[in-house]
Structure 1
């Protein structure tokens, strides 16, 4: 359905929502891109803390059928169409992918957890999207004062709506899970995780600056050094064919992670280094204080077409700049040898990016959201 038509459909629901009675014991979760990321992390935390013993949970997701038959006590999984009525009844709601374009009533708390602090432009900062209303929440989470004005501009919200809590998904990186970490590492001395950003085009190979032939060469080098490269394919990325299997390069999909009850943050925790491009995930990984390599082969084109929130994105990319296959080899070699050339720069920038580095983001969201709106 056309987005403009969809917004017209939801507009009367904002009025109806104002007059709909709210259930103070109902917590609502929403995602239109799978049950993952910040909304799943928030849900998991509340389940661990047994909030579902005092509240009813309704989880509205596009893949609800994967969860509905094994739901915990007082938890119901529904599709996103059915979820509308529960959203309008809920006192509390959380989302990070998509949303219902329904304004919260004065009796509701709707938290936009989003899915990462931005390097690339999002929302109203994107060209052609300046006039679209993205403010359908009472609160939006941030990681530091650096991002507050960026979020305000991107979502056309005010300063009071932005809360510095850290992102719930990052708490996973601070948990101890040697069994899961061992399953990721599988005896490798070094593990490098590669997280390419989504590109709106079909690709022959999921990583930039690396061809299938070069991957064969790289696999032999990794084998000799007992190092492993894990490539997490973006959930939306389309590939033109089947991926070859390598002994020391592993390609992982979101579906595989879900089946293993793992997340990207399980992989990040176990990784010794990260390769990415313009994905916000590297802001998260900085909290672990490990080397980062940035593929920047198309940065000028990306800046022209999508744009960045900072005038000079390089000022906020504390790591190796990778433009070709040789740079990939050099970065991996440095990781294997323990050479961390950008440690000082990374640590200084992390102080601006992540106000908290403690794995307690979910706890802060609960404290600020539940207590503040009940005071």
Structure 2
């Protein structure tokens, strides 16, 4: 049962009225929720894409531990049919009464986005943000400068009991961006980064399985662009221009390189499936169907090409070359904007604005992978206190201290 009819009716009214109804209704529900008993062994895990990211790695680790055998894990998803059945795990569809009921009964709510408005005071809301901060957001976001925006922010952030950070430096960033007291911010590490410390050979096998073909003596380049709020078709155009560029294709052949493009989840609708000997496209849907996340295959990359995406910060843990392909830098900075500026100081790799410059940067990365190593290691140590595969364990140990989590 869904409440889609309710949303359609509300949609007929002005924006401010819609906001008022949702805002008041959600907070009223949060008050009522206090009266509903919470199950201390029921954990809701919210991520986007569904069943991925930091929440997925915490979940997989808990499933390995004996003490969580009688816990119930709740995953809100867009499509239950993709995930099948898993022991002690319940998948619920967003926007359904079942989803709401499970949320109201769960003691713990872990999220990589935001904690739902109707989270009650007798629940524990833990936000493990989906990125190491770099872009403007929340209190730095121009979209929230109105009184309505600020009210939304304050209401949203009050629901957060804890934020998980990766270092003392990112702790300061989170405190500023979310206006959260530093005592609520826990430096425990990013659970998804645990996967980066797996053997490269394991990641290669997963990638081969995903692509349905062997990768023999190939240099692997991942292209992972960010989501562009100002124009969702820019990423499509950038990729199309690369595919159509004959020099680019000849370069890949010459270098025996495999160029793997994974669009941001929001951009997948604009990107057509493409596959040839040197260029492949991988989507979140494919990863989901294969039971994988991006971080299960990311260690296979010899070089990362990105732009303003935070993924490069996690990739620093591998200490491999990063290239920043930024034809629209001026436009992006004027619209979304960055928290860490100047851009050049916080991005340890060659910058490219044209395909020709990108090819030159790839040459540098292939021939001299240590070129930006000093800067990479400096930023790695600034962004990450821990350089190991125990971030999931640290999160679990903090909230269940008697667990005695062991590798």
Contact 1:194 1:276 in 2 (8 A): yes
- Structure 1, residues 12-45: CA drift from partner, whole Å, max 9, x if none? 1221233322212211212364221112222122
Report the CA distance shift for 1:205/1:17 in structure 2 as closer, same or farther (over 3 A).
closer
1:206–1:239 Cα contact (<8 Å) kept: no
Higher helix fraction (1 or 2) = 2
Judge conservation of contact 1:204–1:241 (CA < 8 Å) in 2.
Answer: no
- Which of the residues 44, 58, 78 maps onto 2:92? 78
Q: Deviations over 1:288-332 (max 9, x none)?
A: 111111123222222221121124232211111111111210122
Is residue 224–residue 305 contact of structure 2 (8 Å, CA) maintained in 1?
yes
- CA–CA distance in 2 between the matches of 1:32 and 1:290? 27
User: Which residue is 2:405 aligned to?
Assistant: none
Stretch moving more, 11-20 or 248-257:
11-20
Structure 2 partner of 1:55 = 71
Match of 2:276 in 1: 246
What's the TM-score once normalised by structure 2's chain length?
0.84
Partner SS, residue 345 of structure 2: helix
How high is the TM-score relative to the length of structure 1? Answer: 0.90
> Is residue 183 of structure 2 the alignment partner of residue 152 of structure 1?
no
Q: Please name the residue that 1:187 is paired with.
A: 216
Q: Which moved more, 1:327-336 or 1:46-55?
A: 46-55
Higher deviation after alignment, 258-267 or 351-360: 258-267
| In 2, Cα distance between equivalents of 1:311 and 1:48 | 41
Following superposition of structure 1 onto structure 2, how do residues 32-51 of structure 1 map, counting pairs within 5 Å? 33-51=49-67
- Corresponding residue to 2:301 among 264, 267, 271: 271
Partners of 1:334 and 1:340 within 8 A in 2: no
Q: Provide the secondary structure at the position in 1 that maps to 2:265.
A: coil
Separation in structure 1 between the aligned mates of residue 336 and residue 36 of structure 2, nearest angstrom: 39
Instruction: Using the TM superposition, give the Cα deviation of residue 98 of structure 1 relative to its aligned residue in structure 2, in angstroms.
Output: 4.2
Helix, strand or coil: the match of 1:19? coil
Deviations 1:179-230 (A, max 9, x none): 4413536114311111011124343763638715654432222122211111
2:107 corresponds, among 78, 91, 110, to 91
Going from structure 1 to structure 2, the CA distance change for 1:22 and 1:354 (only over 3 Å counts) comes to same
Contact 1:39 1:96 in 2 (8 A): yes
- Paired with 2:319 and 2:270, the residues of 1 have a C-alpha distance of 36
Task: Give me the whole-angstrom Cα distance separating, in 1, the residues matched to 2:105 and 2:374.
Answer: 49
Which of the numbers 53, 66, 72 marks the counterpart of 2:82? Answer: 66
Task: State the superposition RMSD in angstroms.
Answer: 2.4
Matched, 1:170 2:193: yes
Gaps of 5+ in 1: none
Aligned pair partner of 2:238 in 202, 208, 219: 208
CA distance in 1, matches of 2:49, 2:21: 20
Question: Structure 1 residues 57 and 344 mapped into 2: Cα distance closer, same or farther (>3 Å)?
Answer: same
On the 8 A contact 1:214/1:325 being kept in 2, the answer is: no
Contact 1:119 1:280 in 2 (8 A): yes
8 Å CA contact retained: 2:41, 2:70: yes
In the alignment, the residues of structure 2 paired with residue 94 and residue 159 of structure 1 have an alpha-carbon distance, to the nearest angstrom, of 19
List gaps (5 residues or longer) in structure 2: 1-6, 8-17, 209-214, 403-407
Residues 193 and 267 in structure 1, CA contact (< 8 A), matched pair in contact too? no
Asked if the contact 1:32/1:98 (under 8 Å) is kept, the reply is no
Cα gap change, 1:179 to 1:103, in 2 (>3 Å): closer
